[in-house]
Amino acid sequence: MTTQKCAACHRNALQDSKYCVDHKQASDSVITQYKAWVDAYGGISWQDFLGKLSAMRETGSWVKEVVAVELKK
């Protein structure tokens, strides 16, 4: 079994994820927020949403690191 590194830091990733436990949690919360945002405001793209999220002061550093990884795709 090969151990993968987290896409956002140098720790080992979880088996079923490209992220470590903390970044996985951050990633899950980003997806949840995105769904809530789409429900509330309609068609915002994933990329636009990530851009807005990274510009918000309230956004935590775990989430910002996940956003940076997602925007690189």
Positions touching Zn ion (CB under 5 A) are 6, 8-9, 20, 23
**What is the smallest separation between the CB atom of 8 and Zn ion, expressed in angstroms?**
5
Nearer to Zn ion, 20 or 67 (CB): 20
- How far apart are CB 26 and Zn ion at their closest, in Å? 8
* C-alpha distances in Å from residue 39, one per residue of 8, 44, 64, 72: 28, 10, 22, 25
Please, what is the minimum distance in Å from the beta carbon of residue 31 to Zn ion?
Answer: 16
Distance from C-alpha of 13 to C-alpha of 58, rounded to nearest angstrom: 26
Q: Which is nearer to Zn ion, 23 or 70 (CB)?
A: 23
Give yes or no for a contact between 24 and 17, defined as CB atoms under 8 angstroms apart: yes
